[in-house]
Amino acid sequence: MVGLAPVARADEPAPASGGDASPTVNEQARKHFSAGVALLQDPDGEKVEEAYREFKTAYEMSGSPKVLGNMGLCAMRLERDGEAIDAYSRYLREVKDIDPEERAQIVRDLETLTVGVARLTIEVNKPGVRLVDVRYPVRGERITNVYGPVDGKIEIGVRPGHHVLTARLPGNEDATWELEAYAGGRDKYSFTLREPPPRVAPLAASTTSSRSSSNIGPWLVMGTGAAMLIAGSVTGIVALGKTNDLADRCPSNTCPKSFDLDGARSDAKTFVRITDVLLIGGGIVTAGGIGWLLFSNSSESSAPAPTPTAKKLPSIGCSGTGCSATWETTF
């Protein structure tokens, strides 16, 4: 922006209409005004946004048009061009004792602002909405300004460029409008804010998790049974191989003298018994796991609350006369 006024006016604000304002209000307004000047002249760097708030408060409390010059200066530096135009125009119109050089500078700034401003008319469907305007310049940092709260409609003047406006209201989802603002242009937009969709109840997630964990037991039992069946198949193949080897070495039950017939028969019988145990036990365990899974699912679908699940465990044993298996159910 060409021709910024170099310094803020340090004149203290006076009541807009003689002595209508109380001494307390005047004193408070002077404090805010002085704070704004101090913020603009801060040795560590001017704090324009904070100073603008102080000047606005001083103007609201005093109604003195002399504050409008500083308000216009801050608004222009913050790129709140619509507010800067309004403040500067009123300042030139209402204050008669402006220094000629200052007046000339403000007139030049006002002409530049008026030609370059982009006017936006924004409507919202709910009261209390705040608008966050972010301009993304080609170079440098982005510029952010907040307007509101807005009730119904607001008109703002912004610097030309790429803008993203976000409408925010507690309890509602944010709504955004992205646009390219052009000098002298006028754009309109209506924000429709909506409440977020209801969240999934935590109880449903908890129930799903509980059901998933309750199905782990049956699958572990079925997995154990399947492993036993596989192992039984392997030992069965070994037992069959030993039986065939015995038949090959002792055709018609006639064995070489050096062959240990009793040892070979005992070895083959051992593998046969192991195979029987694994196949019978694996079948029982697998069937039990399937039954447990079906029982668990039917219980969960019919009962509103979790119920204890029965645990079914096989008991397998072998003796010299053979092998046996029993099925026990515990709660």
Is residue 216 a contact partner of residue 293, using CB atoms and an 8 Å limit? no
Taking the model in full, what pTM does it have? 0.57
Tell me the percentage of the chain whose pLDDT exceeds 90: 52
Residue 299 has what pLDDT? Answer: 63
User: Strand pairing of 118-124 and 186-191?
Assistant: parallel
pLDDT for 4 equals: 37
Question: Is the pLDDT score of 89 beyond 90?
Answer: yes
Q: What sign results for the dihedral spanned by CA atoms 33, 39, 40, 43? A: positive
More reliable by pLDDT, 20 or 230: 230
8 Å CB contact between 162 and 142: no
Helix (H, G, I), strand (E, B) or coil at 154: strand
CA angle 173, 177, 179 (to 5 degrees): 165
> Higher confidence at residue 237 or residue 267?
237
d(CA 89, CA 137): 27
Is pLDDT above 90 for 85?
Answer: yes
Q: Which two tokens stand for residue 78?
A: 């913050």
User: Which helix (H) or strand (E) covers residue 157, if one does?
Assistant: strand 153-158
Mean pLDDT over each residue of the chain, to the nearest integer: 82
Query: Which residue has better confidence, 198 or 172?
Result: 172
Over the stretch 95-144, which tens digit does the pLDDT of each residue have? 999 999 999 999 999 999 999 999 999 999 999 999 999 999 999 999 99
pLDDT at 331 over 80: no
**Of 154-163, 203-212, 251-260, which gets the smallest average pLDDT?**
203-212
Instruction: Give the residue, 330 or 27, on which the prediction is more confident.
Output: 27
Residue 324 phi/psi, 5-degree rounding, is -140, 160
Model confidence over 185-225: pLDDT tens digits? 999 999 999 999 988 766 554 555 555 556 787 778 778 87
pLDDT digits (tens, 9 = 90+) for 274-315: 888 878 987 898 888 788 777 777 765 665 555 555 555 555
- Percent of the chain's residues with pLDDT above 70: 75
In whole angstroms, give the CA distance from residue 278 to residue 29. Answer: 95
Examine the pLDDT at 251 and tell me if it is beyond 80. Answer: no
Say what the pLDDT of residue 7 is. 44
On the question of pLDDT at 232 being above 90, the answer is no
Long-range contacts of 44-50 (CB under 8 A, 24+ apart): 48/74, 48/77, 48/78, 49/74, 49/78
Full DSSP string of 54-109: HHHHHHHHH--TTHHHHHHHHHHHTT-HHHHHHHHHHHHHH-S---HHHHHHHHHH
- Whether the predicted pLDDT of 262 surpasses 50: yes
What's residue 19's pLDDT? 43
**Model pLDDT, residue 259:** 66
- Residue 17 clears pLDDT 50, i.e. is over it: no
